[in-house]
Amino acid sequence: QVQLVESGGGLVHPGASLRLSCAASGGTFSNSAMGWFRQAPGKEREFVATINSSGSGTDYVDSAKGRFTISRDNAVNTVYLQMNSLKPEDTAVYYCAASRYSGIYYLQKQYDFWGQGTQVTVSS
Q: What is the pLDDT of residues 108-117, one digit of tens each?
A: 999 999 999 9
Average pLDDT of the segment spanning 75-99: 98
Under the phi-then-psi rule, with left for phi > 0, alpha for psi from -120 to 50, and beta for the rest, what region is 121? beta
Q: Measuring CA to CA, how many Å separate 6 from each of 15, 22, 27, 56, 62?
A: 22, 4, 16, 22, 23
What is the structure's pLDDT at 123?
97
Contact between 104 and 115 (Cβ < 8 Å): no
Average pLDDT of the segment spanning 96-106: 97
List CB contacts of 48: < 8 A, sequence separation 6 or more: 35, 36, 37, 38, 60, 61, 64, 68, 81, 94
What is the overall mean pLDDT for the chain? 97
Phi–psi pair at 61, nearest 5 degrees: -65, 150
With a pLDDT cut of 90, the percent of the chain lying above it is 97
Q: Is the pLDDT of residue 27 over 90?
A: no
Over residues 49-72, the pLDDT tens digits come to: 999 999 999 999 999 999 999 999
- Assign 1 a pLDDT band (cuts: 50, 70, 90): confident
Phi–psi pair at 63, nearest 5 degrees: -70, -15
Average pLDDT of the segment spanning 25-39: 95
DSSP 8-state code for residue 123: -
Q: Is the pLDDT of residue 80 over 90?
A: yes
